[in-house]
Amino acid sequence: MTLTSKPLVDVVASTGYKDVVVGVEAGFDTVKSTVSKYNLAVGYHAPDFQIAASVLDKLSTVKVGYAHNVSSSTRVGAEGCEDD
């Protein structure tokens, strides 16, 4: 929470189970009494790859990332984004 005359309240939570993690974020503008943002993310971590997907900007933007472990010292990855 910001300590100003126009405070914004942000709430972030995440949890994981085994190789999966899920997180959410929300923001509230106390002056306007509106939700200013909300986002969601999920990820999976395997021994040889990782993948994550995020839905951002009030669920209007989707980002997906993938990383693959080629060797113990080399990893390649890619990220894609789709906006409304």
Q: What region does 60 belong to: left with phi over 0, alpha with psi -120 to 50, or beta? A: alpha
Output the average pLDDT for the chain: 93
- On the question of pLDDT at 4 being above 80, the answer is no
Average pLDDT over residues 44-62: 95
Tell me: the pLDDT tens digits for 65-84? Answer: 999 999 989 999 999 998 86
Tell me: the pLDDT tens digits for 23-38? Answer: 999 999 988 999 999 9
Instruction: From 52, 40, 49, 47, select the one nearest 79 (Cα to Cα).
Output: 52
Query: Is 53:61 a contact under the CB 8 Å cutoff?
Result: no
Q: Where are the domains of the chain?
A: 8-83
Distance of CA 74 to the CA centre of its chain: 25
The CA-based diameter of the chain, rounded to the nearest angstrom, is: 52
Position 1 scores a pLDDT of 67
